[in-house]
Amino acid sequence: MAYNLLLEYGSGGTLAERINKLGLAEFEVRLYTRSMLRGLNHIHAIGYVHCDMKPENVLLVPNSSKGSVEFRAKIGDLGLAKRENQSKKRRLETYWRGTPMYLSPEAVADNVQESPADIWALGCIVLEMLTGKPPWDRKDAEDVLKKIGEGHELPEIPGDLSKEAKDFLKGCFVRKPTYRWTAEMLLIHPFVEGLCDNDDGVEERQEVEDINEVDSMQLVTETDDEVSILKKIGAAFRRGIRWYWSEDDTEIT
């Protein structure tokens, strides 16, 4: 008995090829980012981690939405994907999964790769789309890994990017994975919220309840669940308040 596997054809090639050939305008970057976030959100929701997010593994397919960019981004190559650890006990990997340039600090330093590692890699991809350059200036894999795992540095975010782009990248480039934004959180960030990126051309917006502003600061406590955090962040975005994760505590300011 023969089996046939039919896959969608990415006629636009890979995201890496498009970056190298054209360089990308920010509006195009926003749309591709939203598409990738929707894909990652689904992957994480069903309990998996991609483990090898990079421009070469993002395929471009024709976009039928009117008034939008030519292609939509779709995540491919799940050959290194794994089940996310569901227990509270930290599970160490016996080897690194993925490409050194896009590995997260916890993957390099602690051999831990869960869904936050995909978000770090997404940030690297977005930065590369915006600048046309890799996230790290090192070419040797060993040097890159040392800088990520031991250097306590973050990829450099150019000052000439838009406020929304810089804020989005800061949400991805948080060294502590517990404070890094999730795909669901990033989908309501102003950098990508409300953009049209599907075949039907229908905007998909997150419904977020309003909250009161207290001295221009909202506090996310340790007892807040993820839904509560999402509501607070979404309300702050609508009010135009700038927020960031503090790595020393659980405040967002």
188 vs 207: CA distance, rounded Å: 9
Q: Is 14 helix (H, G, I), strand (E, B) or coil?
A: strand
Give the CA angle between residues 80, 53, 159 to the nearest 5°.
160
Q: What share of the chain is helix, strand, coil (3-state, %, to 5)?
A: 40, 10, 55
Question: What residues are labeled active site?
Answer: 52
Q: Which residue has the tokens 């517990």?
A: 178
* 115 burial via Cβ count (<10 Å: 0-12, 13-18, 19+): buried
- The candidate with the shortest Cα–Cα distance to 114, out of 177, 168, 33, 36, is 177
100 vs 108: CA distance, rounded Å: 9
117 vs 32: CA distance, rounded Å: 19
5 vs 174: CA distance, rounded Å: 39
Give the CA angle between residues 141, 145, 150 to the nearest 5°.
150
- The candidate with the shortest Cα–Cα distance to 125, out of 173, 159, 79, is 173
Q: How far is CA 140 from CA 11, 55, 147, in A?
A: 32, 19, 11
